[in-house]
Amino acid sequence: MITTNSSKFGSVLAISISERRGIKKKNVKCAELKEAFCIVNDAHAGRWHRQVSFLAIESMQKIKDKGLNVVPGDFAENICMEGIDINKIKVGTRIMIGDGPILEVTQIGKKCHERCHIYYSVGDCVMPKEGIFTRVMTGGRIKPGDRVFIGDLKDESFD
């Protein structure tokens, strides 16, 4: 059971999937997370450490402030969230969405081998620095509006 007295809450703004890697993702109304696999029907599915990616709307705003009109999915992230300070999230942190799916942060940022259209448009991209990558520990359904809770692996509020 999650305690509600934490300041580590945010919410899901959008869920996005794509048929193949390296392209913008399309927003969906809901998604199924499969344990140790990914979001069902997403190109990043598989038994590896970057099954589901997150980006905060506050990070996207940095690119909007540079003059590029970006929306959730444009960074190829799976989940766009708001209200959580992503700079405080560390590898090993747990993320719980809604009433059940639990993910474990496995990587912060990533190396971009090829620059994306966002980088070429404004000279910067936030996903390599502020994107969060996770593996699915417990599956379940999620939808925009679901509450997001950030906790520590040893946080007893997940028990």
Rg (CA), the chain: 15
Cα–Cα nearest to 81, from 125, 35, 143: 143
Q: Which CATH code fits 9-158? A: 2.40.33.20
User: pTM of the prediction?
Assistant: 0.83
Amino acid at 85: D
Distance linking the first and last C-alpha atoms of the chain? 6
Domain boundaries, the chain: 9-158
Share of the chain above pLDDT 70, in %: 79
Q: What pLDDT was estimated at residue 3?
A: 38
Low-confidence ranges of the chain (pLDDT < 50): 1-7, 119-120, 153, 155-159
